[in-house]
Structure 1
Amino acid sequence: MKKPLLTAAASLFGLVFVMSPIAHLQAAELKVLAGGSMTGPLNELASQFERGSGHKLVIHFDSTPNLIKLATSAPFDIGVVPVDVFKNAEAKARFVPGPTTDIARVGYGVAVRAGAPKPDVSTPDALKKTLLDAASIAYLPASAAGAYVSSVFERLGIGEAMKPKTKPQTATADIAKAVAKGDAELGVFLINVLMAPGVEIAGPFPAELQNDLVFTAASAADTKEAEAAKAFIAYLKTPAAVAVIKAKGMEPG
């Protein structure tokens, strides 16, 4: 079977998967808390799920610290969030007990403005030199991914040296934009976030420094739309959803 036909079949399977188990349910509006780095795949998957199920998703994308605040202070139905959210006991208590469902994972890399020379980031020493040579870098320090980037700077022994070079961003999408506009020489963050117009990936972090950030899903303990919430989480594991997750630069599960 040709690839377009496979893709179409996968999408059809995903929609059928959604529609069959919940066709008898009344349409619900689901409030979803999600990691900012899941914006690309979740926006596309949300529209597919809504068409197939009749439910409506209202998704709030944010950084890990803000997601923890929201999970502990505001009503919601589902979280598709970095696993770090569940390391906060108060936030974890707002979700249904038991294991969560891993949806996607992605590693870290470095990006440059489109057309610029790509620096060497293939070894820890090469990455260290590239970072020290850069005039400026953009990332989102106030996030789980940003915290990991900062920890890599510390492991390389350049934590203090990077502070005056840092151009902190307030949203994941702003990282690539800053590089594309020339406001920052390098973007350092999750690879899927750096896959954006106007920038090119110089390379992933070397294996010794690489780490996957995992996004996991669970229903809120007090949701009044438990069945619809379960259906959306199940949809995120279908072949159609997996295809979108991969296309957006992430790995499923």
Structure 2
Amino acid sequence: MRNRLPHLAATTLASLLALNTAWADEVQVAVAANFTAPIQAIARDFEKDTGHTLVAAYGATGQFYAQISNGAPFDVFLAADDSTPARLEAEKAIVPGTRFTYAIGTLALWSAKPGYVDSQGQVLQQNQYQHLSIANPKTAPYGLAALQVLDKLKLTEATRAKLVEGQNITQAFQFVSTGNAELGFVALSQIYKDGKVASGSAWIVPSSLHAPIRQDAVILAKGKDNPAAKAFVEYLKGPKAAAVIKAYGYEI
């Protein structure tokens, strides 16, 4: 009898592991490009705490809208605005009652060069640069916010020929980080770490210069019967996720 105990213990452990695997599901999440770093951190905690698996795709909100409308197999959508999820809700493409604001984004004018961008953004007025990077304003809310800032500062005409558009905020950031543009409008979350700008120089744009960047999340119709989709959205509303979101410069 004594010799059988290790075998029984191993069998019980294997059964428990199999049961846990049976309960675990996968959630496919479409994530606005500005939220890449936070969702990677949140996903690690979510998977560890729940056993579910999160598979993320990153891109521009407008591009995701087109993909979702054409049947892309996403369960959850984390947009960079609130209007696109509201549109999907009106089209009955989401699970009713699941839309909520998970973060409020902050825009920053950034250069990879230390000291290039001053704390008040006067570098824009001085107009000594050759290229100003922004995300495509037709598909990326941070790009639209950038145009609103230029309009508010009466710099639309002065900067028109200098604009370099990225497909999304990630590409807009890459144009600056590689030196193809001296400066650009990016999401603060892309350059923020431990409560400060991690590299280069930046002006954190006052929210009064553009419409609020309210970022909404929804469970899409395809995720209706996916337990992992519901679990992830609830996790995103929780304290662990909130701490990560704030650490990247967003407001809740």
Task: Say whether the fold is shared (TM-score over 0.5).
Answer: yes
Amino acid across the alignment from 2:190: V
Judging changes above 3 Å, is the alpha-carbon distance between structure 1 residues 81 and 127 closer, same or farther for their aligned structure 2 residues? Answer: same
> How far apart are the structure 2 equivalents of 1:76 and 1:91?
18
Of 128, 146, 164, the residue aligned with 1:167 is: 164
Count of paired positions? 226
Partner of 2:187: 190
**Alignment match of 2:134 (pick from 139, 161, 184):** 139
Any idea what SS the aligned residue of 1:244 has?
helix
Cα shift at 1:57: 1.4
Report deviation, 1:210: 4.3
1-structure distance, mates of 2:224, 2:89: 20
Q: Which runs of 5+ in 1 are unaligned?
A: 1-22
| TM-score, length-scaled by structure 1 | 0.77
8 Å Cα contact 1:195/1:201 also seen in 2? no
Which residue is equivalent to 2:12?
none
Q: Give the root-mean-square deviation of aligned CA atoms.
A: 2.7
Q: Which amino acid aligns with 1:218?
A: V
Aligned counterpart, 2:9:
none
- In the TM superposition, 1:18-167 aligns within 5 A as 26-73=23-70, 74-82=72-80, 83-89=82-88, 92-98=91-97, 100-119=99-118, 121=120, 126=122, 129-130=125-126, 132-141=127-136, 142-167=139-164
C-alpha change, 1:113 and 1:215, in structure 2 (3 Å) is same
Q: 1:68 to 1:162 in 2, by over 3 A?
A: same
Give how far 1:47 is off: 1.8
User: In structure 1, how many angstroms separate the alpha carbons of the residues matched to 2:236 and 2:171?
Assistant: 26
What are the ranges of 5 or more consecutive residues in structure 2 without an aligned counterpart? 1-19
How far apart in 1 are the matches of 2:22 and 2:217?
21
Cα contact 1:39–1:61 (8 A) shared by 2: yes
Larger Rg computed on CA atoms: 2
Partners of 2:235 and 2:241 within 8 A in 1: yes
State TM-score, norm by structure 2.
Answer: 0.78
Q: Percent identity?
A: 26
Q: Which amino acid aligns with 1:60?
A: A
